Homo-oligomer: A and B are copies of this chain.
């Protein structure tokens, strides 16, 4: 681990450490002559500034944190991919942590982020999160937090969300357009604001444009629950003629049930979901879905973060627009 340091460079060239430091930074005080000499030696010796020393002195870590419930999830994956890409382009490194939907792990991770002095944090809160003080601690230290996707239901934070209401509305409208009469809407954890918003918008759209539709709502939280709920309801009488799935997990469970019961999509039953894009394309016919791009979300969130880092931006809520991708399942 024989790193070359400013000291080593300065000794070789017989000049002072500070001159070397400034030469490498193109400081106007240093002559062109010296600059080129220093730079040449620096590349020759593969000089790399010691991150920890720089951070200690400047208090600039160039580190951004990402906190998500879990990374084994295509939505967050594409989000992370987008952020990481932009971060690298802007000279930031990224530290990723998972809360696993436990408030306790979330708090521990926030602590680690602080300890590592991230300059900003992207966070999607866990299902359990009720107390926002651990997040506030970051803000107290002037570390901007940009909430994404699953955001806190509190004012005064930077938030970048999917157009949740819009996405649910688009899905509802698509169902209405197909003149479906008995609709099953499956949503995620009822505690999350994202669920509440989508569910409310979904119901509202039906009330407004097709009040006679028979709407059944349920909240399965896992693939298995979704499977069970779907099987139960699809086996019952007055089977729905369309199912809306709020997320991939639910969709997977529903499709399993549909195959199990040997129902034909879309003739026996129409299916529509909200998804990042992979899973709906695995089925035949492909599932019609409202796209919620983690990638776009990441790009937008990063832009938001940059403006936070530059000036003390006022809290703002931004949304990623939704798009209906027709797949033939409705």
Contact = CB atoms under 8 A, between A and B. Distances in A.
A56 interface: yes
B81 A117 contact: no
A55 B52 CA distance: 7
B142 A116 contact: no
A154 interface: no
Contacts of A307: none
A62 B112 CA distance: 12
Q: Which bracket fits the contact residues of A? A: 35 or more
Contacts of A142: 1
A164 interface: no
A146 interface: no
Contacts of A271: none
A33 interface: no
Given A72-B77, A72-B78, A116 B98 contact: no
A50 interface: yes
Contact of A255 (B77, B78, B282): B282
Given A51-B117, A59-B1, A93 B93 contact: no
Given A71-B80, A95-B93, A141-B1, A117 B284 contact: no
A59 B283 CA distance: 52
Contact of A259 (B2, B72, B94, B284): B284
A135 interface: no
Given A93-B95, A256-B282, A48 B115 contact: yes
Nearest to A141: B1
A290 interface: no
A96 B96 contact: yes
A52 B56 contact: yes
Contacts of A252: 282
A314 to B, nearest CB: 20
Contacts of A255: 282
A90 interface: no
Nearest to A1: B141
A301 B282 CA distance: 32
A157 interface: no
A87 to B, nearest CB: 11
Contact of A52 (B78, B84, B117): B117
Interface of A: 1-2, 48, 50-53, 55-56, 59, 61, 70-72, 74, 77-78, 80-81, 84, 88, 93-98, 108, 112, 114-117, 141-143, 252, 255-256, 259-260, 282-284
7 contacts: A51-B117, A52-B61, A70-B81, A71-B81, A72-B77, A72-B78, A96-B96
